[in-house]
Structure 1
Amino acid sequence: MEKMYNVGKIVNTHGLMGEVRVISRTDFKEARYEPGSQLFLFRKNEKEPVTLIVKSHRTHKNFDLLTFEGYNGINQVENMKEGLLKVSEKDLDELEENAFYFHEIIGCTVYKTDGTELGKITEILTPGANDVWVVKQEKGKELLIPYIADVVKDVDVQKKEIVIEPMEGLLD
């Protein structure tokens, strides 16, 4: 089976017409959730994924709401809760320079420009103007690193290493 990448998690149903509430893990929502797009649902305790075709997409509060072709009622989607939505590797698009997929960044080790290791990236937040990388330190609190040119100096996804120049107050 080809490699699959997580784009979201179904956390609940929404209404009675087969809509599901998704917490997204992709920064390409428009492309991933476009009607006609193919997603794979991985349910707990099941080995084989279910192929789904997106019928509709809209946002509501902090969630993405999706419906799928052939699933028209709450009873048909109730068992999708807690399932992961994934795309296959062949569905990944080429990115422009200095753009990265979340799966390429998560797990990278972050270093300061002086070589000091800060920790590993465990999560990416998308609060607004720029992404924020969550760095888990071996000891101490998590660091929040804004993905902006003034801070992030080098990203090597092959070596899984990132070099930053922390701005004043960032590591306090």
Structure 2
Amino acid sequence: MQLVVGRIGRAHGIKGEVTVEVRTDEPELRLGPGAVLATDPAATGPLTIAAGRVHSGRLMLRFEGVSDRTGAEALRNTLLIADVDPEELPEGEDEYYDHQLMDLDVVLADGTEVGRITEISHLASQDLFIVEREDGTEVMIPFVEEIVTEIDLEKQRAVIDPPPGLIDDQAEIASSREADDSREADEDSREDGDA
């Protein structure tokens, strides 16, 4: 099975080094020196990591055969893809690979169905489940402990406890109703004051 583990960013310096947006929880395993990675677009690779280091909080990599800034710039926006055994599990207890989470049913604690995970979006601050509902609409669920309370791979489901307004528009309706009520109360008090 192939997993995207990074995306090549800008060239850094003049010796072929590039910045890498890490998309794996195990960069030391997947993006270490000697690792051979497939690429998207495929014509760019495979790429073998010659060296790596962290600079100002960013991962920098140098690939075999890329020794100058021009070669490094040509790799920009290339996705780095690692071959992973589908039976392999992450080391951490509450960690999952994307392929384990895809197509899980998303339900509330009481069993109410919300939808199915169709995509996982990796943002800088957190990961998001893109959940397709039965009616074809999508809802984004932050993959944080406070909201996603349980992942049950055996039952193929993710249990969520969403705050008001995350998967429905109750919060919006309540706030607009309150605004209407307070406007009416203001108008009533002005009318009483005018009398």
Structures share fold, TM-score greater than 0.5:
yes
CA distance 1:140–1:68, change in 2 (3 Å): closer
Compare CA radii of gyration and give the structure with the larger one: 2
Match of 1:58 among 53, 57, 61: 53
Give the length in aligned residue pairs: 161
Deviation at 1:12? 2.2
TM-score between both structures, scaled by the size of structure 1: 0.71
1:153 is matched with 150
Q: Is the Cα contact below 8 Å between 2:98 and 2:120 reproduced in 1?
A: no
Q: In structure 1, what residue type is equivalent to 2:159?
A: V
The two structures have a TM-score, normalised by structure 2, of 0.64
Question: What is the rounded CA distance, in whole Å, between the counterparts of 2:68 and 2:26 in structure 1?
Answer: 27
> Is the 1:7–1:25 contact (alpha carbons within 8 Å) kept by the matching residues of 2?
yes
Structure 1 residue runs of 5 or longer lacking an equivalent are none
Find the aligned partners of 1:159 and 1:49 in 2 and give their Cα distance: 40
Pair 1:69–1:25, CA change in 2 (3 A): same
Q: Is the 8 A contact 1:9 1:85 kept in 2?
A: yes
Q: How does 1:24-39 map to 2 (within 5 A)?
A: 24-39=22-37
- The share of aligned pairs that are identical, in percent, is 27
Question: Relative to structure 2, which stretch is displaced further, 136-145 or 112-121?
Answer: 136-145
Structure 1 vs Structure 2 CA RMSD: 3.3
Q: What is aligned with 2:6?
A: 8
Q: Residue 152 of structure 2: SS of its match in structure 1?
A: strand
Structure 1 outlier segments of 4+, above 6 Å: none
Q: Summarize the Cα distance change of 1:92–1:9 in structure 2 as closer, same or farther, 3 Å threshold.
A: farther
Higher strand residue share: 1
With over 3 angstroms needed to count, the CA separation of the structure-2 counterparts of 1:8 and 1:160, relative to structure 1, is farther
- Name whichever structure is richer in helix by fraction: 2
Distance 2:84 2:11 in 1: 27
Which residue matches 2:95? 99
- Counterpart in the other structure of 2:83: 88
Structure 2 stretches lacking a partner, 5+ long: 172-195
* Aligned: 1:78 with 2:76: no
Q: 2:89 touches 2:96 (CA, 8 Å); kept in 1?
A: no
**Could you tell me which amino acid in structure 1 is paired with residue 96 of structure 2?**
F
Partner residue in 1 for 2:191:
none
* 2:158 alignment counterpart: 162
C-alpha change, 1:151 and 1:92, in structure 2 (3 Å) is closer
Choose between structure 1 and 2 for higher RCO, CA contacts under 8 A separated by at least 6 residues.
1
TM-superposed deviation, 1:66 = 0.8
Residue identity matched to 1:116 = T
Question: Is residue 55–residue 69 contact of structure 1 (8 Å, CA) maintained in 2?
Answer: yes
Q: Report the secondary structure of 2:143's partner residue.
A: strand
